[in-house]
Structure 1
């Protein structure tokens, strides 16, 4: 599998470079760069996991928390550079609802087909549920509500929301890696078993550096072709961010979560899906906000109402589904069905 991913990364990256240098078709560039990001993101993720496994439990956890959603951060930075603020917000929205509904729904469904009832750590699930309510239900909804109908949206509330989200996220890391790490011990052991690196750590460092550079390159080209693809296909930038960019950036992680559920390792599957959501909402979004402030880009936490309603619906449904510490295929079908409805709603938005 690693060999196939590496071959796909090399072939698609070479193809993308060729399109950029000689074909110069924005539409083709969008699709080829999108395809190239998927195996490159997989290489980044596996290299990060391998380095984390060699770095000790605490340092490894911090490393995974930092690089876990690097692709979304890179795409977000290039979107800010090009002034595509709706794309930044919609890709954040898309990452959240795709992780919570698409990935978790598929994981529950696929795992439930093989194992009628799957159990996971209910205390960890409740902790994640509380963090989701703060990171999305407060940090995104409150700035949006206060900005509603205002002629000028002040960034002050967004500064506060971003700072609080970032601080609470870091406190959550301290909680899981230091003061209450026994709650997350089973997840850590599963991650160690799944990583099991055999190559020297320097090889993984080189792979991480090279794949990060290539993802940055592909992200720049992908973002640069968004307006062309939107005009060509009649899609809105919001739909591209919510559905296309979100799935591209998380494709490798999505597959891992579903595979772990199939193997009945639900604690790890849940951690991949919900942990990634928390990272996007409480780490990536605040970091992008502060980067935007440094770049002079007016990026705030005031989202559109369709985005806020979609994120809150996803959070509330998932909180209800995980509170009993059990899952089955029907719950997965419900979550996935909710994602389809939301995706259709964003598709219906005018371009």
Structure 2
């Protein structure tokens, strides 16, 4: 070993000159459960590990093309398609950077970062959804905010979980997972879904008393539209109060998951401590840079939606509910399916249901509060059809995970429901 190394690193029978590329340590060297101390990767090694972390990174070529399209005015279709493709690898890199930061920040801070922004198993990260939603919120595109977030929930609950159950069921006749943790997560998801049903019921009850005005066209109450001011004020107050309550529930859920009942969410097949592939400085720098680039790409994407939808005659609801979630979830779809084929169903459940909780009980209420601050009247009232679709989806998932078992038929059911929903929104005008 070179002179100046503070500890000996060697496995029995190993070559002491074997390089420790990608091993976990730093000037802040880290001792693993096996007693070994490993050096942190250098900047060059960290950057190489980061950029070569997955095949999706080949799509990074679309990033400069998206910026070129925007500034050279190639048109809305080119802007939308190129920025859409560009955000797919950027979302994956955001996940990698978050994971590497969490591995370096210690158990408490790292655990909070994992649970809030994704975890070390590449759980679906809400960074992309958060960036796209905030930019759309600032632009006043409240329907895009709502449909993209609802689409992310549906994509994770039905498409990701369905494909995982199907793929795992083709390898194993039946798979099992921790039932208590799955029930706690799905129950919280039911709570989040219920808080979207109540504003819809509230709006319906208000309009029932104003049918004459509706027929005369004097009252038109949609999320974020200021006609019918009195009714909208009540809906806003209900939504903002509900958002605060949901955030308290989400904080309690994080405590439940990270501290008081953390053992329920651990995969019993995972015993080895994961090694970091980046040093802390490079990981933080990469997280900042990729976040900024993603924000610019998302701004191009959001700005092109209206014109792209008109040019291609594609419903905006379909873009928000079906297409946009693919941007943030592509890498996680692959990860979840891969884990299911390996029999790691706790991880798969964490990807699908856990990420839906992050969005439904965490991100949506946060955006309602942000809209309150910046004077954008975002409410928890979704269109009645969308609310019914979400309720049915959550109900089906809750029923399927309640027994702690999965098979390919259950996966096929979830995928079938997702396809029916996609078909319905394709014909929504």
Give the TM-score taking structure 1 as reference length.
0.94
Secondary structure of the residue aligned to 1:225 is helix
- After superposition, where does 1:15-34 map in structure 2 within 5 Å? 15-34=65-84
> Does residue 375 of structure 2 align to residue 296 of structure 1?
yes
Q: Which residue of 2 aligns with 1:169?
A: 250
Q: Which residue of 2 aligns with 1:142?
A: 198
Q: Which whole-Å CA distance do the structure 1 matches of 2:413 and 2:252 have between them?
A: 32
1:190 deviation in Å?
4.2
Secondary structure of the residue aligned to 2:173 is coil
Specify which structure has the higher proportion of helix: 1
Q: Which whole-Å CA distance do the structure 1 matches of 2:115 and 2:62 have between them?
A: 28
Q: Which whole-Å CA distance do the structure 1 matches of 2:271 and 2:69 have between them?
A: 38
CA contact (8 A) 2:332 2:351 kept: yes
1:262 deviation in Å?
1.4
Q: Which whole-Å CA distance do the structure 1 matches of 2:271 and 2:241 have between them?
A: 34
Q: Which whole-Å CA distance do the structure 2 matches of 1:86 and 1:238 have between them?
A: 8
Secondary structure of the residue aligned to 1:140 is helix
1:95 alignment partner, one of 152, 156, 160: 152
> Does residue 167 of structure 2 align to residue 110 of structure 1?
yes
> Does residue 410 of structure 2 align to residue 331 of structure 1?
yes
Q: Which whole-Å CA distance do the structure 1 matches of 2:74 and 2:68 have between them?
A: 9
Q: Which has the higher contact order (CA 8 A, sep 6+)?
A: 1
Q: Which whole-Å CA distance do the structure 1 matches of 2:336 and 2:316 have between them?
A: 28
Q: Which whole-Å CA distance do the structure 2 matches of 1:339 and 1:190 have between them?
A: 31
Q: Which residue of 1 aligns with 2:106?
A: 56
Secondary structure of the residue aligned to 1:300 is coil
Runs of 4+ in 1 over 3 A off after TM superposition: 3-7, 189-193
1:13 alignment partner, one of 44, 59, 63: 63
> Does residue 349 of structure 2 align to residue 270 of structure 1?
yes
Higher mean Cα deviation, 248-257 or 337-346?
A: 248-257
Q: Which whole-Å CA distance do the structure 2 matches of 1:146 and 1:46 have between them?
A: 42
Q: Which residue of 2 aligns with 1:185?
A: 266
- After superposition, where does 1:242-281 map in structure 2 within 5 Å? 242-281=321-360
CA contact (8 A) 1:191 1:268 kept: no
1:203 deviation in Å?
1.7
Q: Which residue of 2 aligns with 1:77?
A: 134
Q: Which residue of 2 aligns with 1:348?
A: 427
CA contact (8 A) 2:59 2:88 kept: no
CA contact (8 A) 2:322 2:422 kept: yes
1:54 deviation in Å?
2.4
Q: Which residue of 1 aligns with 2:387?
A: 308
1:3 deviation in Å?
5.6
CA contact (8 A) 1:5 1:43 kept: no
Secondary structure of the residue aligned to 1:2 is coil
1:2 alignment partner, one of 53, 62, 71: 53
Q: Which residue of 1 aligns with 2:47?
A: none
Q: Which whole-Å CA distance do the structure 1 matches of 2:261 and 2:171 have between them?
A: 32
- Quickly say closer, same or farther: Cα 1:19–1:174, change in 2 above 3 A: same
Please report the RMSD computed on the Cα atoms of aligned residues, expressed in angstroms: 1.6
- Alignment: residue pair count: 346
Higher mean Cα deviation, 142-151 or 13-22?
A: 142-151
CA-to-aligned-CA distance 1:220-249 (integer Å, 9 cap, x gap): 000000101110121222111100111212
Q: Which residue of 2 aligns with 1:37?
A: 87
CA-to-aligned-CA distance 1:241-265 (integer Å, 9 cap, x gap): 1001112122122221111111111
CA contact (8 A) 2:165 2:406 kept: yes
CA contact (8 A) 2:267 2:344 kept: no
1:239 alignment partner, one of 291, 315, 318: 318
1:87 deviation in Å?
0.9
Q: Which whole-Å CA distance do the structure 1 matches of 2:367 and 2:270 have between them?
A: 31
Select the structure of larger CA radius of gyration. 2
Secondary structure of the residue aligned to 1:312 is helix
Higher mean Cα deviation, 233-242 or 49-58?
A: 49-58
1:191 deviation in Å?
9.8
> Does residue 290 of structure 2 align to residue 211 of structure 1?
yes
Q: Which whole-Å CA distance do the structure 1 matches of 2:255 and 2:155 have between them?
A: 27
